[in-house]
Amino acid sequence: MKKMSFDREFIVPTLIFFAATIIAYFWEPVLAVLLGILTVGAALFFRDPHRDIPGEESAIVSPADGKVMGVDIVEEKEFFNSEVKKVTIFLSVFDVHINRSPIAGEIKDVRYTAGKFIPANKPEAGKLNERNKIFIEGKNLSVLVVQIAGLIARRIVCRVQPGMSVGKGHKLGLIRFGSCTELYVPLEAEIMVKEGDRVKGGETIIGRWRG
């Protein structure tokens, strides 16, 4: 059986819902039941299941759990200054929200941008919403992971900073309550997923690098 743990972010919201449940129990039992369900849901949102990280050196693993919304070729001017492949992953409130490093390498840059909170499954969310960009330089390639807040998600948690070394599958942080994660890789990378596929952060091989 795989080990299940919870991210430390679960403590405050879970305790708030739990306290509200106890108070409601003495005033309105039906409301207490609903709040109890929300308490369990809040805790499950922050679940942090064990992941089997692929040992294959050429493997690029998914930075998030969720559904692949698209695989595109785009111009990325901030870090690559060239055309790259972009994989967009939508995370519903039922998905694990831990973000993980697709490769082993060094965190070269972290850039936060304030923004809107439109639904994360909208194409324009990556340009308009609150987001955090993490640029990782590996031995043979560099990748960019973008954490994007959504309609319900109102907090991006990033736990890495420039100069840190990370292993493949290393936890970068999380986004609270429904969001989107983008992965940018060089054109030479072979993408192994397509629109509609379900992926698991740190475990699904999302691409391979043959360079």
Residues identified as active-site: 179
The DSSP string of the chain is ---EEE-GGGHHHHHHHHHHHHHHHTT-HHHHHHHHHHHHHHHHHTEEE-------TTEEE-SSSEEEEEEEEEEETTTT-EEEEEEEEEE-TTS--EEE-SSSEEEEEEEEE--B---TTSTTHHHHB-EEEEEEE-SS-EEEEEEEE-SS---EEE---TT-EE-TT-EEEEESSSEEEEEEEETTSEE---TT-EE-TTTSEEEE---
